[in-house]
Amino acid sequence: MPSVKSELRSGAYYDSAVLMQLQRGLLDLPGVLDSGVVMGTRANQELLEQSGLLVAELRQAGPNDLLIVVKAETDSLAIEALRQVDTLLSRRRSVVSGTFQPKSLETAVQQLPEAQWVLISVSGRFAAGVAREALALNRHVFLYSDNVSLQDEIEMKRAGQKKGLLVMGPDCGTAIINGIGLGFANRLRRGGIGLVGASGTGLQAITSHIHTLGAGVSHAIGTGGRDLQAEVGAITAHQALAALAHDAETQVIVLVSKPPAPEVGTQLLAASQGLGKPVIVNFIGYPPPGRKLGNLHFATSLSEAAELAVALSLAGSAPPRPAGQPIRGYLRGLFSGGTLAYETLLGLQSALSPIYSNAPLRDSQRLSDPLKSQAHTIVDLGDDVFMVGRLHPMIDNELRLRRLRQEAADPEVGLILLDVVLGEGAHPDPARELAPAIAEIKKARSLEVVAMVIGTDVDPQNIEAQIERLKDAGAIVFRTPTEATDYVARRMGARPVRAGVPVPAEALNRPLAAINVGLESFYTSLVGQGASVVHVDWRPPAGGNEKLAGILAKMKRK
Amino acid sequence: MPSVKSELRSGAYYDSAVLMQLQRGLLDLPGVLDSGVVMGTRANQELLEQSGLLVAELRQAGPNDLLIVVKAETDSLAIEALRQVDTLLSRRRSVVSGTFQPKSLETAVQQLPEAQWVLISVSGRFAAGVAREALALNRHVFLYSDNVSLQDEIEMKRAGQKKGLLVMGPDCGTAIINGIGLGFANRLRRGGIGLVGASGTGLQAITSHIHTLGAGVSHAIGTGGRDLQAEVGAITAHQALAALAHDAETQVIVLVSKPPAPEVGTQLLAASQGLGKPVIVNFIGYPPPGRKLGNLHFATSLSEAAELAVALSLAGSAPPRPAGQPIRGYLRGLFSGGTLAYETLLGLQSALSPIYSNAPLRDSQRLSDPLKSQAHTIVDLGDDVFMVGRLHPMIDNELRLRRLRQEAADPEVGLILLDVVLGEGAHPDPARELAPAIAEIKKARSLEVVAMVIGTDVDPQNIEAQIERLKDAGAIVFRTPTEATDYVARRMGARPVRAGVPVPAEALNRPLAAINVGLESFYTSLVGQGASVVHVDWRPPAGGNEKLAGILAKMKRK
């Protein structure tokens, strides 16, 4: 009958690669049927249990305990295997051989002063400490480690932002800087497409597809998966976008992420509108505002993001210039069509913030009183609340004319947007009533009025005459919500890029030199790619014993 | 000094057109500066207040009270204007003249027995009653009225479904049946594009744009804005999709709505996959699963929905047949890449339900234990919870191999989906470890294994050899998540259309004959379009007095 034996080592630190090698080494021993070498987290204990390896004495282990389990044909073979643990651990040989290996980041920087990048892949509980050290030494950070706290991430990114340093990560799987892949990265052709991604395999899938389609990549900057959360505020993504905007090699930019916090997404898109290059946006699982909004192009999948980027880089077209001086006041959209209001809100929420509506896309956008606008506002005047005993605004303009005057009287309003829906059942001549009101407004003060006219050339109202009349009154007229939304976003949307010291252009364009702390395979990969690298023979303070490390830190301070 | 005088009429019913005419009639009287004629809802009182028309005595009015306010140059002119109210109300002349006007729906049906459609636009509180009468008389309902309760909507739609009758609405603004526009509708070319919309102006914007692009519309079926809410379950949309699928004239179908309840959306899309025609989906503000999923094409704006419909109707291509017999078991996706897992979930959640993940798109999808799959499941094995002291699954296949065997042992599993990410930093030869495990699974039982291999032809692992090895083991291999997702959705997604009596094809294809109850302008519009129509000279029970109506109803029952 098979026998399962175990050993628990408290407070010992080994990196993940060492644990994997030990587990495989145990499996190769005579009579061993299965083995498990894991840190004692609840998830890992459950995994051991699923494999029938969780013996009773391990159930009390904590996340910093190392659990070693062997299942062998007999008791004695299992015990013998466990006896080999230290031998197996010591047998492990470093792939980083020959050269002198510094024991600290500080020494490594002295050894390779041109190294602008520090790759960190040590265990999560030590990673922030190493990253802070790197920032203090004025180095950009590629932080592969996961299980780093959000608080640490925010502090590090703010510190980096003040010094013009990038903190890619934590949990950043991928980057390509000046042709050199950091962490996980596909080998690719160089080219004019630059990428920013809060998504490791997202960047890999897009860059691989770009290569397969025959195009190439300038740089791919990872931000870590949480960068676009509200608490972090996309600090790294803002830095990276600005850096790619200034990078001469980058013609087209791709921005990929899981859904951002709404406010963060809006700020990023408003900043992207000001970059002067086409930007392909793929916020996976976030409803796109349409296909295009000024220089922004929205992809609905990773493949499509790659395809759009390649198409735009081949087209080589400059993005459309914003029309005239940007408008600084608020938008007020007064709609008769509920869906037109909704689609317009969808389009504009990505560029204008805060924006409110009585038909909101999310609760935070709900207008507290549908009768009063606040900030940017889109009102559906056909909403049930207005409709008790009143004809629909597509038949009767009364309600809209009153609201139109009310909005025009508000000095904070910069642009009024209307829909005019023609066809059977609708008002026989809406422009006859709307145009004089628009003309009156335009005469009173400088305020833009935009109208989307929905209808066909065979509708009873004579669409051409309706459009002419609205234009004569001073309105700017479009025939689809898409065109109207695109225009309004370009007139009102673009906002300057965030404050902070910009990342210097040379960060991306110097030959890549780096210091690696953690996984040796990342060192090997960098060397293989021709980069200058120093590997730090890093050990956690006090061998990973946190109590002891605390005492040591206290002594140091004294 | 201007004077404001008012009158309050309790429990009186007038339709909205009458109120508008009264308000305008008052404005035309000598010395009248402004006027308001509204039902006494809170919103209407606030609107009066904004115009300086809300006098103190009206503040106690309720929603069923009629408020009449006049602002005139002097007291006496205001009083004189109010004296004209009854004269103005009686002066109003019906546009429906000459013909005999039945007073009830029942008589109307006798007068025009071929009328299959009843248009209802009476005040919300009476609309459900009229609609129920129409259903009892076996007529389809176009219910323009708003302010109808959700409970009434559900009951009416269920009743209609049992009899093969459509209930379009409540709050249905638009439909085009066999070339005749109901409610608000643009005049259009006939053609091969059929539409279903929980969105009035959405349908108008799309159909207008289709016409402008030179193509045409077979039918456009409105459902009312709440049809895709969870409580209603898209009863009308399901009926309408099935009817268009059977309609010979319709080659391409467009489905447009505000975001559906997730479960309702999934059911609609699964049903759409089985229609045998291309379906363009525009769930405005709902993240699309990509550009295409089998015969489903996802648009991100109203304009784009029209453009896709026109392009597909011109292409005239049959949608791809599903590959082989559909798979009935569950999907289990075992991912090393977090973003790949996320994008796959996004793609498949529209076709497979329920689906769970440890990286869910919404909370209801959260896997209660990341170590155990349930129903359809997508696991991100690179999630933090797995990563304490363990190498990433892109480097170390151990965790995935164990999970792979666990899933294969579950008899409910029908398809296993994997990602294989190549490149710098990743495992040097993942197929060497994964392929034997796949071969073992395939040998043990009939189970499909699909792999998406992400990488380039210059990656160190030799992508061609990796793919070959996976294929030899029996896996079906794709190079992008989009292709893999599309394949899985086609293999597992399509579900039969909902139960209920189908709407007979002749409902759409007979020359349109209708009965109109409510707004006379809808009658005029139908007559103008050449349809046979009878207008009912409808009056609410007991003149709109609900107390009296209750007594009458009680007496009737006795």
Residue A550 pLDDT exceeds 90:
no
| The residue type at A83 | R
CB contact A46 to B (< 8 Å):
yes
Q: Mean pLDDT score of chain A, rounded to an integer? A: 91
| pLDDT, tens digit (0-9, with 9 covering 90-100), for A359-407 | 999 899 999 999 999 999 999 999 988 988 889 999 999 999 999 999 9
Q: How far apart are CA A346 and CA A367, in angstroms?
A: 15
Cα dihedral A171→A177→A181→A183 (10° resolution)? -20
Task: Kindly provide the ipTM of the predicted complex, given to two decimals.
Answer: 0.87
Chain A residues with CB inside 8 Å of B361's CB?
285
Contacts of B349 (CB under 8 A, 6+ apart): B262, B266, B289, B355, B361, B365
Instruction: Please name the residue of chain A whose CA is at the shortest distance from the CA of residue B348.
Output: A285
| B211: nearest CA partner in chain A | A456
d(CA B528, CA B299) in angstroms, rounded, equals 34
Alpha-carbon separation of residue B66 from B69, B90, B385, B422, B540 (angstroms): 10, 16, 63, 72, 15
pLDDT at site A498 = 65
Q: Does A459 touch chain B (CB under 8 A)?
A: yes
Closest partner residue to A337 (CB to CB) among B201, B304, B525 is B201
Contact call for residues B71 and B34 (beta carbons, < 8 A): yes
Record: contact B371-A346, CB cut-off 8 A: no
A338 touching chain B per CB within 8 A: yes
| Residue A47, token pair as written in the block | 């995994």
Chain A contact set for B288 (CB, 8 A): 287-288, 300
Strands A140-143 and A117-120: parallel
Flag if B346 and A284 touch (Cβ within 8 Å).
Answer: yes
Residue B289 contacts A, CB cutoff 8 Å: yes
Q: Are strands B180-183 and B140-143 parallel, antiparallel or unpaired?
A: unpaired
Q: State mean pLDDT over A310-334.
A: 80
Inter-chain CB proximity B389 and A46 less than 8 Å = no
CA distance B554 to B322: 58
Amino acid at B395: I
Cα separation, A419 vs A450, in Å, equals 9
More confident residue, B97 or A550: A550
Q: How far is CA A299 from the centre of its chain?
A: 14
Q: pLDDT grade, residue A10 (50/70/90)?
A: confident
- Of the ranges A248-257, A331-340, A549-558, which one carries the lowest mean pLDDT score? A549-558
Cβ contacts of A390 on chain B, cutoff 8 Å: 16, 19-20, 38-39, 44
* d(C-alpha A521, C-alpha A525), whole Å: 6
Residue B530 CA to residue A378 CA, distance in Å, equals 38
Q: Is B391–A16 a contact, with Cβ atoms under 8 angstroms apart? A: yes
Residue type, A325: Q
**pLDDT > 80? residue A469:** yes
Q: How far apart are CA B339 and CA A283, in angstroms?
A: 11
* pLDDT for res B505: 83
SS (H, E, C) B191-256: EEEEEEEECHHHHHHHHHHHHHCCCCEEEEEECCCCCCCCCCCCHHHHHHHHHHHHCCCCCEEEEE
Rounded Cα distance, B396 and B498, in Å: 45
A117 Cβ neighbours under 8 A, 6+ residues apart: A139, A140, A141, A142, A177, A182, A512, A513, A514, A515
Buried b (16+ CB within 10 A) or exposed e, A160-172: bbeebbbbbbbbb
Provide the 3-class DSSP secondary structure of residue B119: strand
What per-residue confidence (pLDDT) applies to B92?
60
**Residues B342 and B359: beta-carbon distance below 8 Å:** yes
Q: Name the residue type at position A301.
A: S
- Give A420's strand partners: A453
Cβ proximity of A346 and A389 under 8 Å: no
Return the pLDDT at A150.
Answer: 97
State residue A97's pLDDT score: 60
Q: Identify whether B354 is preceded by a cis peptide bond (ω within 30 of 0).
A: yes
Residues of chain A contacting residue B286, judged by C-beta atoms under 8 Å apart: 287
- Whether cis (ω within 30° of 0) applies to the bond prior to A326 is no
Residue B489 contacts residue B351 (beta carbons within 8 Å): yes
Check residue A24 and report its DSSP letter: H
Angle at A434 (CA atoms; ends B220, A484), nearest 5 degrees: 60
Strands B376-380 and B330-335: parallel
Which chain A residues touch B343 with a CB distance below 8 Å?
A: 202, 205, 284-285, 301-302
| pLDDT mean over A70-95 | 87
Nearest to A255 by CA among A228, A226, A289: A228
Using the predicted structure, report yes or no on whether residue A317 has a pLDDT greater than 70.
Answer: no
Q: How far is C-alpha A105 from the geometric centre of its chain's CA atoms?
A: 29
What's residue B115's pLDDT? 96
Between A544 and A144, the more confident residue is A144
Owner of token pair 């042709």: A179
Phi and psi based region of residue A111 (left: phi greater than 0; alpha: psi -120 to 50; beta: remaining): alpha
Q: E strand or H helix at A534, and its extent?
A: strand A532-536
**Contact yes or no for B410/B373 (Cβ under 8 A):** yes
pLDDT beneath 50, residues of chain B: none
At residue B129, the pLDDT reads: 96
Which single residue is written with the structure tokens 């009390």?
A: A60
Convert the pLDDT of each residue in A165-192 to its tens digit. 999 999 999 999 999 999 999 999 999 9
For residue B415, the model assigns a pLDDT of: 97
| Residue A208: exposure state from Cβ atoms within 10 A (0-12, 13-18, ≥19) | buried
Is residue A164 classed as helix, strand or coil in its secondary structure? coil
Is A39 in a helix, a strand, or coil? strand
Find the closest chain A residue to B202 by CA distance. A339
Contact A340, A481 (CB under 8 A): yes
Residue A326: per-residue pLDDT:
82
Minimal CA–CA distance to A120: which of A95, A137, A145? A145
pTM: 0.88
Name the nearest CA neighbour of A467 among A489, A437, A424, A434: A434
* Burial of A1 from C-beta contacts in 10 A (0-12 / 13-18 / 19+): exposed
Q: How far is CA B218 from CA A421, B188, B223, B279, B382, in A?
A: 21, 10, 16, 14, 50
3-class secondary-structure state, position A117? strand
Place of tokens 């409910």: B412
CA distance B316 to chain A (A): 24
> Which tokens sit at A106?
């500080």
Is A95's pLDDT higher than 90?
Answer: no
d(CA A216, CA A191): 4
Q: Mutual orientation of helices B42-50 and A398-408 as an angle, nearest 10°?
A: 50
Q: What is the predicted pLDDT for the residue at B17?
A: 85
| CB A264, CB A319: distance < 8 Å | no
Q: Is B328 exposed, middle or buried (0-12, 13-18, 19+ CB in 10 A)?
A: exposed
DSSP A206-272: HHHHHHHTT--EEEEEE--TTTTSTTTTTHHHHHHHHHHHH-TT--EEEEEESPPPHHHHHHHHHHH
Does A543 lie at the interface with B, CB-CB under 8 angstroms? no
DSSP track, A367-431: -S-TTS--SEEEEETTSGGG-TTS--TTT--HHHHHHHHHHHT-TTEEEEEEEEE-SBTS-S-HH
Chain position carrying tokens 């404001």: B4
Q: CA–CA separation, B328 vs B441, rounded Å? A: 18
CB atoms within 10 A of CB B1: 5
pLDDT digits 0-9 by tens, A277-291: 999 999 998 889 889
Q: How far A43 CA sits from the closest chain B CA (Å)?
A: 7
pLDDT at A337: 94
Q: Are A164 and A238 in contact (CB under 8 A)?
A: no
Q: Is B458 on the interface with A (CB under 8 A)?
A: yes
